[in-house]
Amino acid sequence: MKADPIGVRTGTLYLDGDRATAEGAIAAGCRFFAGYPITPSTECAELISERFPEVGGIFIQMEDEIASITAIIGAAWGGARTMTVTSGPGISLMMENIGLAIMLETPCVVANVQRGGPSTGLPTMVGQADVMQARWGSHGDYEIIAYSPQSPQEAFDFTIKAFNMAERYRTPVIVLLDECVGHMVEKVVIPPADTIEIEPRRLTDAAKDEYLPFAYGDDLVPDMAIAGMGYRFHVTGLTHDERGYPEMSVRCQEWLVPRLVAKIRQNADDIIEFDEENTDDADVVVVSYGISARVSRMAIDLAREKGIKVGFLRLRAIWPFPEKRVAELAKKIKSYVVVEINLGQIYYEVQRCAAGRCETLLSPHAGGGVHDPEDIFKVIEKGAKVK
């Protein structure tokens, strides 16, 4: 299915990452948005509130982030494509109901414009320390899909992807921006609507009395009914059977939860996205994402000038993590250097996948700014000296 032209502002715009996220959402057919203002994500909500009346969308500023995430889940069951956007304290408040979206297999998109934490932290300054929270923040076992744009253009592109993946796998998808990308204004090219591919909702066509809300096929994703279609279905956040009825037993838990995880893991190759540069002869491979990926490239240029063989693995999707590729490369390099604005998150993931086959070094940053390329360079230098 192609994007509805009414929502697509085709042309070359000069936009910040927050607003590009909003444009991506509207282009992807988002027509319900609930949110609560929080820096540095608010520009996204503001643009949606301005644009929605003209495209038939409903914008509502809720009383808090818990209400916001829950409202978008409800709206998804009413048939809408939905999004909320937040940051820091707000994403923490949303965690319980991100779990609800996982459990009800509800397509929806959550954008988190990361700022410095913990707590109120650095409201107006950059951080990348919510990466593990995105993966593990809600209780229980699950898998998540998360994208990390490095520019406003990617904020637009990845938000559309996020909506598409949310529909394809019936799951919440996180767009994990950072304040720097969120607030940076740059050229954004919005293509014509008929070149934007939109994933339709997987609506069931089962007979009314035969529909089982959680019966699934080979790709492990059940077909969805939405309210008002006449199926009179039930869904619950409790562990449930094919009919959607609660069944609190080991047997049912084993039937349900491994599938929720597997529907992402089994299809990981369809979701995982990364850019790989100069890894063929590399001694050191830098791993980074978001704004840090851009800064890393400066350090890589520096290192190459000095004759160090450095490759680059830039994560476009952070979750699911490209485990296989990271493990493969580990066999032939001396070290990984992970560059992120936190004190070690994806670092541990890389270390886990490298599994001792090479060194894994971290170029950390506590937040509030981006790395000094010199600092990254020094870690690369160290990585190149590993025996």
Partner 1 sequence: MRREIRITGFGGQGVILSGVIVGKAASIYDNKNATMSQAYGPEARGSACSTQILVDDKEILYPYIRKSDVLVAMSQEGFSKFVGELKADGVLIYDEDMVNPGEVKKGIKVYPIKAQRMAETDLGRKIVTNIVMLGFFTAVTQAVPKEAMVEAIKTSVPKGTIDLNLKAFDLGYDAFE
Partner 2 sequence: MSPKGVPEAVIAAVSSEEHPIAPFLRMDRMPHIWCSTCGIGTAVKALVAAFEKLETDLDKVSIVSGIGCTGRVAGYVRLDSFHTTHGRPIPFATGLKLANSELTVIVFSGDGDLSAIGGNHFIHAARRNMDLKVICVNNFIYGMTGGQAAPTTPLTAVTSTTPYGNAEPPFNLCHLAAACGANYVARWTALHVRRLTKAFAEILVKPGFCFVEVITPCSTLYARKNRLGTGLDIMKYYHDNTVIEHGAEPADTDIVFGGPIICGKFVDRDRPTWLEYQDQHLGEVLGDKYYRGKVLQGAGER
Q: Which range binds partner 1 by CB under 8 A, 27-35, 140-148, 178-186, 304-312?
A: 178-186
Q: Which range binds partner 1 by CB under 8 A, 58-66, 201-209, 215-223, 365-373?
A: 365-373
**How far, in Å, CA of 127 to CA of 67, rounded?**
25
In angstroms and rounded to an integer, the radius of gyration of the C-alpha atoms of the chain is 21
**How far, in Å, CA of 4 to CA of 371, rounded?**
40
Residue 75 Cβ vs partner 1, minimum distance, rounded to whole Å: 30
Residue 34 Cβ vs partner 2, minimum distance, rounded to whole Å: 6
Q: Quick check: 180 binds partner 1 (CB under 8 A)?
A: yes
Task: State the binding partner of 123 from partner 2, partner 1, none, CB within 5 to 8 A by kind.
Answer: partner 1
Q: Quick check: 111 binds partner 1 (CB under 8 A)?
A: no
Nearer to partner 2, 79 or 369 (CB): 79
Residues 30-69 that bind partner 1 (CB under 8 A): 39-40
Task: State the binding partner of 125 from partner 1, partner 2, none, CB within 5 to 8 A by kind.
Answer: partner 1
Question: CA angle at residue 23 from 173 to 276, to 5 degrees?
Answer: 55
Nearer to partner 2, 99 or 121 (CB): 99
Site residues, partner 2 (CB under 8 A) = 6, 31-32, 34, 53-58, 60, 62-64, 66-68, 70-80, 82, 96-97, 100, 104, 225-238, 243, 245-246
**How far, in Å, CA of 70 to CA of 342, rounded?**
29
Task: State the binding partner of 6 from partner 1, partner 2, none, CB within 5 to 8 A by kind.
Answer: partner 2
Residue 86, strand partner residues:
112
Task: State the binding partner of 291 from partner 2, partner 1, none, CB within 5 to 8 A by kind.
Answer: partner 1
Residue 294 Cβ vs partner 1, minimum distance, rounded to whole Å: 5
Nearer to partner 1, 219 or 374 (CB): 374
**How far, in Å, CA of 192 to CA of 242, rounded?**
41
Nearer to partner 2, 78 or 118 (CB): 78
Residues 119-138 that bind partner 1 (CB under 8 A): 123-125
Nearer to partner 1, 181 or 308 (CB): 181
- In sequence order, the 6+-apart residues with CB closer than 8 A to the CB of 332 are none
Q: Quick check: 8 binds partner 1 (CB under 8 A)?
A: no
Task: State the binding partner of 238 from partner 2, partner 1, none, CB within 5 to 8 A by kind.
Answer: partner 2
- Site for partner 1 (CB under 8 A): which residue of 67, 184, 329, 350? 184
Q: Quick check: 12 binds partner 1 (CB under 8 A)?
A: yes
Q: Quick check: 183 binds partner 1 (CB under 8 A)?
A: yes
Residue 30 Cβ vs partner 2, minimum distance, rounded to whole Å: 11
CB 346 within 8 A of CB 287: yes
What secondary structure does DSSP assign to 242-269, as a single string? TTS-B--SHHHHHHHHHHHHHHHHTTHH
- Encoded tokens for 115: 């700022």
Nearer to partner 2, 214 or 321 (CB): 214
172: region left, alpha or beta (phi > 0 left; psi from -120 to 50 alpha): beta
- Encoded tokens for 25: 């959402």
Residue 344 three-state SS: coil
Task: State the binding partner of 267 from partner 1, partner 2, none, CB within 5 to 8 A by kind.
Answer: none
Residue 122 three-state SS: strand
Of 304, 253, 258, 256, the C-alpha closest to 277 is 304
- Encoded tokens for 84: 């909320």
Q: How many residues of this chain bind partner 1 (CB under 8 A)? A: 22
**How far, in Å, CA of 122 to CA of 73, rounded?**
29
Element (H, E) at 352: helix 346-354
Peptide bond into 320 cis (omega under 30): yes
Of 172, 114, 165, 164, the C-alpha closest to 142 is 172
Kindly compute the dihedral angle of the four CA atoms of residues 127, 41, 186, 305, in this order, to the nearest 10 degrees.
10
Nearer to partner 2, 214 or 233 (CB): 233
Contacts with partner 1 by CB under 8 A lie at 12, 14, 16, 39-40, 123-125, 180, 183-187, 291, 294-295, 297-298, 369-370, 373
